[in-house]
A = this chain, B = another copy of it.
Amino acid sequence: MTYTFSPIGSIHSPFKSKQDIQSNRNKRPDGYAEIKGQIEIHDPYAAGLQDIEGFSHLFVIFAFHQSEEGGLIAHPPFDHKPRGVFSTRSPHRPNAIGLTVVRFHGREGPLLHVSGLDMLDGTPVLDIKPYTPRDQKSEARFGWLEEFTQ
């Protein structure tokens, strides 16, 4: 059984190539806060954006369209140890699905102005979901990552 998805939109980001992304930004909770851009929702889906105003943060689920075949061991850029891929946010993973929480600043028709982007320009968007109280986990612990989070 497989599941096939078509993009509902794409990302406009200042990161034009992988080399533009400074991955040590991942160490800070606000590491990408200043990275601004837009999510452009394709016309047939724009009506689904109704009522999105008022949410301050959105989940973007996207395809890592330039990732390599995903193995089970990842090499986080700021760590010296290889890690099981499901304990990382590496783009190189069995299913190349990405997830980023962005800050939502406002909508112009099918265009969502956001910040906190860490994806490449042109990244295909598979879904947008509101960030809700159930997603706030203030008491969370972060395993191997804690050593690297400031």
Q: A48-B72, A51-B87 are in contact. Are A135 and B134 (CB under 8 A)?
A: no
Indicate with 1 or 0, residue by residue over A73-92, a CB within 8 angstroms of chain B CB atoms: 10000000001111111000
A residues contacting B by CB (< 8 A) are: 1-8, 26, 28-32, 41, 45, 47-57, 59, 61, 63, 65, 72-73, 83-89, 93-97, 99, 101, 124, 126-146, 149
| Residues of chain B within 8 A of A72, CB atoms compared | 45, 47-48, 50
With A95-B127, A135-B135 as known contacts, state yes or no: A144 contacts B87, CB within 8 Å. no
* Pairs A-B, 4 closest by C-beta atoms: A54-B143, A50-B84, A48-B72, A51-B87
